[in-house]
Amino acid sequence: MIDLMWTGSWLWGNVRTDSIVEYEVGHFEDLAESQSVVRSPEWPHVYLGSRVFDLASLTKVIFTSTLLVQIAEELFHKKGKSFKDFLETPLFGQSTLGEVWNHCGGFAAHDFLGPKNDVRKLLSPEERLKSVFQVSTKNYDANRIGQTVYSDIGFWNLGLFIEKHYQLSIREIWQHFSQEKLNLAGDAFLDYGPFYLGQKIFEKTLNTEMRHARGQVNDDNAACWGGAAPHAGLFGNLDGIMGWVKWLFSEWDKKSFVAQNWLSNTDRHSESERFVCGWDRPSGDLLMSQAGYPAPQSCVGHLGFTGTSVWLDFVSRKFGVLLTNRVFVNANNAESLEQIRSLRRKFYSLLWSEESQSNKKRQWSEELKKVWLRRAEQISV
């Protein structure tokens, strides 16, 4: 019997050029004793070990939204279909793909795909397709179109759209994630990963020792998809996120189709809209935003229920990654939820701050000390 500690990995980055990035990086148990690094040219590597986390809803932007914009680019080059026309593709009922992607497509937030007596039941492709349709129909109201409701159900339908386009399952698409399929450099995902879709190795910190356990996706509905779902299921570490971020900044600097239509798309929407093409944005009470304060209005990112998050700003060229195993302490405990929200606010506020790096590190260390000594209940390993 040993104590399970709330652990995590973190990184603040500043992209100087396509080949040079400066960053501070560390782990929770180091209490912000971080490494200062300037990496060139292969900057996705951070070499901090293989601590892999359940990324939860970061899957929506790293995997599903990235795939959608790649499909949009493919249709533009092959059929001359504009990004605007792509967003207006009918998806479900009276809702378009763009409306669902923006979380305003008329769907409720959440429901269960599996039966009530076994919500994590692995569904066959036929069972899953039937269940997605039934649950989507039950939770759809065309009168809600245009109203922002953060919806996993909507992303299930985006996943079905992707599967239909490629004529492959989500897992098969991931396994064939390549230059031929997605026009991505190899180091954007797999080579500099690792990213995993469910049921892979998850590494957690137990006191000062490292232990490996079989990774089981936290999300019940992702379990029904076999761990490979369009709304959750992706496992990854700092290296993997860094590879994806490098690809994003590379696309931005090239002023590519992806940059002009996906990464710049947030500039063409009202500040009151929180979600745009899969991206989360600062909205509402900005002082309480989990993007930090004062987060640039141009920044985009996403949050994950398990305690993960990523925010980046192509204008200031800053980005931050915070990965934690919050759900291994207590997934639904109100105190746990407020702790991760508070931690995110502090972490990303420091990212955007103009204070000296030494002051930032000192404040971050103090913040970590507040949460690090909270012990979870005893578990068996």
Return the pLDDT at 47. 55
Number of Cβ within 10 Å of residue 147's Cβ equals 11
Return the pLDDT at 178. 45
Identify whether the C-beta of residue 261 lies closer than 8 Å to the C-beta of residue 83.
Answer: yes
Using CA atoms, how far apart are residues 123 and 329, in angstroms rounded to an integer? Answer: 28
Residue found by looking up tokens 């080579």 in the block: 191
- 91: which strand partners? none
Which amino acid is located at 240 in the chain? G
The DSSP result for 268-330, as a single string, is: GS-TT--EETTEE---SSGGG-TT-TT--TT-EEEEETTTEEEEEETTTTEEEEEEE-THHHH
Cis ω on the peptide bond leading into residue 115 (within 30° of 0)?
Answer: no
pLDDT in tens, 310-319: 999 999 999 9
Report the b/e string of 24-61 with b at 16+ CB within 10 A: bbbbbeeebebeebebeeebbebebeebbbbbbbbbbb
Return the pLDDT at 378. 33
Residue found by looking up tokens 């996120």 in the block: 241
Q: How far is CA 255 from the centre of its chain?
A: 23
Return the pLDDT at 189. 29
Return the pLDDT at 31. 64
Q: Which helix (H) or strand (E) holds 70?
A: helix 66-79
Return the pLDDT at 311. 97
Q: Which domains does the chain have, with CATH numbers?
A: 2-379 (3.40.710.10)
Q: At CA 336, angle to CA 226 and CA 329, rounded to 5?
A: 55
| R_g of the chain computed on alpha carbons | 20
Using CA atoms, how far apart are residues 242 and 76, in angstroms rounded to an integer? Answer: 28
Using CA atoms, how far apart are residues 23 and 35, in angstroms rounded to an integer? Answer: 8
Q: Specify the 3-state DSSP secondary structure of 240.
A: helix
Q: Specify the 3-state DSSP secondary structure of 16.
A: coil
Residue found by looking up tokens 């508070």 in the block: 342
Which amino acid is located at 186 in the chain? G
Number of Cβ within 10 Å of residue 214's Cβ equals 8
Q: Which helix (H) or strand (E) holds 364?
A: helix 357-372
Return the pLDDT at 331. 57
Q: Specify the 3-state DSSP secondary structure of 113.
A: coil
* pLDDT beneath 70: ranges in the chain: 1-6, 18, 29, 31-34, 39-50, 175, 177-215, 265-272, 328-335, 371-381
Using CA atoms, how far apart are residues 245 and 315, in angstroms rounded to an integer? Answer: 14
Using CA atoms, how far apart are residues 317 and 113, in angstroms rounded to an integer? Answer: 40
- The maximal CA–CA distance of the chain, rounded, in angstroms, is 61
Using CA atoms, how far apart are residues 113 and 121, in angstroms rounded to an integer? Answer: 9
Q: What pTM does this model have? A: 0.87
**The total number of residues written for the chain in this structure:** 381
Looking at every residue in the chain, the average pLDDT score rounds to: 80
